[in-house]
């Protein structure tokens, strides 16, 4: 009782100090009640209503920046007005103008949400935030004269602060509706993420095709209107469960039947169609993305399948860039003499000397053995490819080959090597290609290849080491 009496006493005192007649209070209180009642009268039921509502409603984003600008101007004027009283007078006008603009903005926003049938937590928050904001502005208008006259020190500053905080929060909710909730944190440096608690979206099973290719597409292109924060057409696409549940018109994904799946139908309409998705001129899906979705639905729309037939997303594993070889101009006379002689040749890869040399033995293969190879040691650092196919090279040749520090491709097909000593090639950090087709290597002797850093193309056709139909094995 005592508390209640105190509260009523305080209220009476406050009302006397503000000096507004009791009947005048009907305006702000009545407006507030109307605003609070509005959502209960016109419930956001997730159904679209009259199109004229949406026509007007779409001017909401146009208008809303005007009241925001004026409201943000208020504290500046009030604080600066301590020194320059003229600004205080301006503040009164700005406050009233802000209210005059905030009310139609709220009305248009409501038409937009109600007309388009938007629902969702963010939409609801945005709506209530706007309600509170408008009520705050109305109260500010009524309380400010007393504060300006110095009779009431706290009410107006408190109300204005609350109004500004409400404005910030409401605007952020509105932004999340338009741009998606992750818009601000999308490019946040990873170091900051834990501090702000911005985490990445959870997924079904992280290596599934859905998680790698379908969810990211929906997340980027659809979830801003069909997510947890905003639900148009009662359809959410932010999780696998919601996607499969569908929306107000039923399921949007029919596993195995892409042609009957509304999700696909809506994104493949002609872009002028009013049912085309993503709506309102947002970025459409690319043909690749549509193909992934189609193939995924055809394959049963599972959350677990790792790959689906009909889609290959080329994962780029670029080859390591070749390292330029050193300057071999000192050796040019010898190399030239070799070109004109009979026997193995050193041929430049291209007109650019740093691309290195190819050791070419095709013309003398049968007589080219380990001894001949050893004669090329002085050129070893400049040779990037050794064509030793069908030569007389044996396992002893690996002693020389391990000195070919820039070797990228090694052809030994059709030689009599058995693979003993292959491990010596570990020293060749540039080696990406080795061809051992038709040699005497076996599964045991080629195990050494697994340890080699850059090896990507290994050919074991027609050998005992050949494991399957295709002899090329990607070791990566």
Partner 1 sequence: MKQHPLCSDCEPELDITQLPIPAGLKREWSAVETRRRFLGRSGKVLGWAALASLFGEAALRGHGADAKNPALATRNNLGLPHFAPKAKRAIYLFMSGGPPQMDLLDYKPNLASQFNKDIPNSVRGNQQLTGMTAGQSRFPIAPSHWGFKQYGQTGTWVSDLLPYTARMIDDLTIVKSVNTDAINHEPAIMFINTGNMNPGKPCLGSWLAYGLGSMNDNLPTFVVLQTKTNPKENNQPVSSRLWSSGFLSSEYAGVGLRSGGDPVLYLADPDGVDREVRRKMLDAVEQINRQTLADVGDPETNARIAQYEMAFRMQSSVPELTDLSKEPQSTWDLYGPEARVPGTFAYNCLLARRMAERNVRFVQVYKRGWDVHGDLVGTLPILCQETDRPCYALVTDLKRRGLLDDTLVIWAGEFGRTVYSQGGLSADNYGRDHHPRCFTTWMVGGGVKPGITYGETDDYSYNVVKDPVHVRNFNATILACLGIDHNRLTYDFQGLDQRLTGPAPAYVVKGLLA
Q: Where on the chain is the footprint of partner 1 (CB under 8 A)?
A: 291, 295, 307, 309-312, 314, 322, 327-329, 332, 335-336, 339-342, 345-353, 355, 360, 362-363, 387, 389, 409, 411, 413, 433, 435, 437, 457, 459, 461-462, 470-472
Minimum distance of partner 1 from residue 274's CB (angstroms):
24
Query: In degrees rounded to 5, what are phi and psi of residue 409?
Result: -135, 135
Minimum distance of partner 1 from residue 289's CB (angstroms):
14
DSSP string, 205-235: STTSHIIIIIHHHHHHHTTTTBSSS-EETT-
Minimum distance of partner 1 from residue 386's CB (angstroms):
13
For residue 37, count CB atoms less than 10 angstroms from its CB and return exposed for 0-12, middle for 13-18, buried for 19 or more.
Answer: exposed
Minimum distance of partner 1 from residue 187's CB (angstroms):
29
Residues 6+ apart with CB under 8 A from 408: 322, 384, 385, 430, 431, 432, 433
Q: Nearest-5° angle of CA 24, CA 71, CA 74?
A: 85
Q: Tell me how far apart the alpha carbons of residues 385 and 430 are, in angstroms, rounded to a whole number.
A: 11
Minimum distance of partner 1 from residue 165's CB (angstroms):
53
Q: Which is nearer to partner 1, 184 or 265 (by Cβ)? A: 265
Which element (helix H / strand E) includes 335? Answer: helix 332-340
- Report residue 49 as tokens: 């209503």
Q: Which is nearer to partner 1, 139 or 267 (by Cβ)? A: 267
Q: Which is nearer to partner 1, 46 or 284 (by Cβ)? A: 284
Rounded to 10 deg, the angle between the 121-148 and 26-41 helix axes is 180
Q: Which is nearer to partner 1, 97 or 409 (by Cβ)? A: 409
Minimum distance of partner 1 from residue 350's CB (angstroms):
4
Q: Which is nearer to partner 1, 236 or 408 (by Cβ)? A: 408
Minimum distance of partner 1 from residue 303's CB (angstroms):
20
Q: Which is nearer to partner 1, 3 or 342 (by Cβ)? A: 342
For residue 265, count CB atoms less than 10 angstroms from its CB and return exposed for 0-12, middle for 13-18, buried for 19 or more.
Answer: middle
Q: Which of helix, strand or coil describes residue 399?
A: helix
Q: Which is nearer to partner 1, 41 or 351 (by Cβ)? A: 351
DSSP 201: P
Q: Which is nearer to partner 1, 14 or 433 (by Cβ)? A: 433
Minimum distance of partner 1 from residue 409's CB (angstroms):
8
Q: Tell me how far apart the alpha carbons of residues 325 and 92 are, in angstroms, rounded to a whole number.
A: 77
């Amino acid at each position: 009782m005592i508390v209640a009496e105190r509260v009523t006493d305080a209220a009476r005192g406050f009302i006397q100090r503000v000096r507004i007649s009791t009947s005048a209070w009907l305006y702000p209180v009545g407006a507030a009640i109307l605003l609070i009642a509005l959502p209960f009268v016109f419930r956001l039921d997730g159904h679209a209503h009259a199109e004229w509502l949406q026509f007007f409603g779409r001017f909401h984003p146009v208008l809303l920046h005007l009241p925001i600008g004026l409201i943000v101007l208020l504290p500046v004027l009030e604080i600066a007005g301590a020194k320059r009283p003229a600004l205080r007078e301006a503040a009164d006008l700005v406050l009233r103008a802000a209210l005059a603009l905030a009310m139609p903005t709220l009305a248009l926003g409501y038409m937009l949400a109600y007309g388009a049938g938007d629902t969702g937590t963010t939409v609801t928050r945005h709506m209530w935030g706007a309600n509170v904001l408008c009520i705050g502005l109305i109260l500010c208008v009524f309380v400010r004269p007393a504060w300006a006259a110095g009779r009431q020190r706290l009410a107006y500053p408190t109300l204005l602060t609350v109004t500004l905080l409400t404005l910030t929060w409401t605007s952020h909710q509105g932004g999340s509706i338009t741009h998606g909730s992750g818009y601000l944190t999308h490019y946040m440096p990873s170091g900051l993420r834990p501090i702000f608690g911005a985490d990445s979206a959870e997924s079904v099973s992280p290596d599934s095709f859905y998680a790698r290719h379908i969810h990211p597409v929906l997340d980027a292109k659809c979830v801003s209107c069909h997510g947890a924060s905003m639900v148009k057409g009662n359809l959410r696409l932010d999780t696998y469960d919601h996607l499969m549940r569908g929306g107000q018109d039923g399921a949007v994904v029919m596993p195995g039947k892409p042609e009957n799946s509304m999700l696909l139908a809506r994104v493949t309409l002609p872009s002028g169609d009013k049912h085309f998705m993503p709506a309102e001129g947002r970025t459409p899906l690319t043909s690749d993305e549509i193909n992934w979705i189609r193939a995924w639905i055809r394959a049963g729309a599972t959350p677990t399948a790792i790959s689906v037939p009909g889609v290959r997303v080329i994962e780029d594993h670029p080859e390591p860039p070749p390292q330029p070889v050193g300057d071999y101009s000192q050796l040019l006379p010898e190399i030239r003499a070799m070109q004109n002689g009979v026997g193995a040749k050193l041929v430049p890869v291209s007109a650019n000397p740093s691309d290195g040399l190819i050791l070419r033995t095709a013309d003398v293969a049968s007589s080219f053995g380990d001894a001949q190879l050893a004669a090329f040691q002085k050129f070893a650092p400049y040779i990037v490819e050794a064509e030793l196919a069908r030569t007389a090279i044996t396992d002893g040749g690996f002693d020389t080959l391990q000195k070919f520090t820039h070797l990228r491709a090694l052809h030994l097909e059709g030689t009599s090597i058995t693979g003993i000593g292959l491990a010596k090639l570990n020293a060749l950090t540039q080696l990406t290609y080795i061809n051992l087709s038709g040699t005497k290597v076996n599964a045991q002797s080629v195990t050494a290849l697994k340890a080699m850093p850059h090896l990507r193309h290994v050919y074991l056709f027609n050998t005992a080491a050949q494991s399957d139909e295709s002899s090329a094995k990607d070791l990566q």
